[in-house]
Amino acid sequence: MRKKSWKFYGVALLAVLVAAATASTGRTSLTDSSSTEYCVSCHEMKRYQDELKASPHFKDADKKDIGCSQCHIPPSGLRYLSIKLVFGAKDLYAHYFGTPNDLDRLKLQRFTRRFIPDENCIACHKDLMKNVKNEPISEIGKRAHEAYLGNDAEKSGNTRSNCVGCHQNMAHLPKFDRRYEVNAKFAAKLDAQEETSK
C-alpha cells in the first residue's frame, strides 16, 4: 500500500475516533459539525463561502441564508453518517497533509457532485416545471425534468443524471467555469466581490 493511502486511512480512523469522542462528551455533535460556521472555520473553505454569497443560491425562498449542509449533507440516516465520515476524513486529509489552497477544483467537482442528494434540491424546488419566479421552464428543461420524473414516454425515468449533473455552478463557480455565457452574471458578481476585497 502506498504511503499516501496509509495517511488517508490514518486520518479516516482519527476522524471516526474524534467524532465518537466528541459525540460522547457533547462538545461538538455531528449536528454542530454540519453548521456553516464549522465548515468555514478552515481558511481554505473561505473561497467556497465567498462563491456561495455571490451565487443565486445564497438565500432561500424565505430570504434566509442557505448553509453548506442544506445542499451537501443528506438530512439523516446511514447516508448522512457515511457522507459526514467520508467527507470529514477527506477534508482533514487535505487540510493537514495536502495542499488545501491549491485543490484540483475540476476533480473535486466531479467527485462532490455525485454526493449532492436530489432530495436536498427538491426540498426547495418542489415544482420542477416552474422556475424560481414561478414561471414555466423552457421546453428543453421540461423534457429533461419529465425524463427525470419518469413522465417522458421515450426516456421513462431512466435519466442517469442527478440534479447537479445538469444544474452545475449553482452555488460555486471556479475560475475555469466563468468563461461560459450561462455563468456571466455569477462571474461578474464574483469578479466585483474579489475586486472590493483587494
Give residue 171's pLDDT band: very low, low, confident or very high (50, 70, 90).
very high
159 has pLDDT over 70: no
Quick one: pLDDT at residue 34?
A: 84
Q: Report the C-alpha gap between 39 and 46 in whole angstroms.
A: 9
Give residue 101's pLDDT band: very low, low, confident or very high (50, 70, 90).
confident
Give residue 98's pLDDT band: very low, low, confident or very high (50, 70, 90).
confident
User: pTM here?
Assistant: 0.76
Q: Is 118 exposed, middle or buried (0-12, 13-18, 19+ CB in 10 A)?
A: middle
Question: 91 in helix, strand or coil?
Answer: helix
25 has pLDDT over 60: no
What mean pLDDT comes out for the span 172-192?
Answer: 94
Locate all alpha helices (DSSP H) within 75-173, ordered by sequence.
77-97, 105-113, 118-124, 139-149, 163-166
Q: Report the C-alpha gap between 98 and 102 in whole angstroms.
A: 9
What mean pLDDT comes out for the span 46-65?
Answer: 91
Percent of the chain's residues with pLDDT above 90: 34
CA quadruple 141, 79, 70, 134: dihedral sign: positive
24 has pLDDT over 50: no
Q: Which three cell numbers stand for residue 4?
A: 499516501
How many CA atoms within 13 Å lie on the side-chain side of 40? 13
Quick one: pLDDT at residue 27?
A: 47
Quick one: pLDDT at residue 8?
A: 64
Whether 45 and 90 have beta carbons less than 8 Å apart is answered as no
What mean pLDDT comes out for the span 9-22?
Answer: 59
Quick one: pLDDT at residue 85?
A: 82
Q: At what angle do helices 46-54 and 184-196 cross, to 10 degrees?
A: 120
4 has pLDDT over 70: no
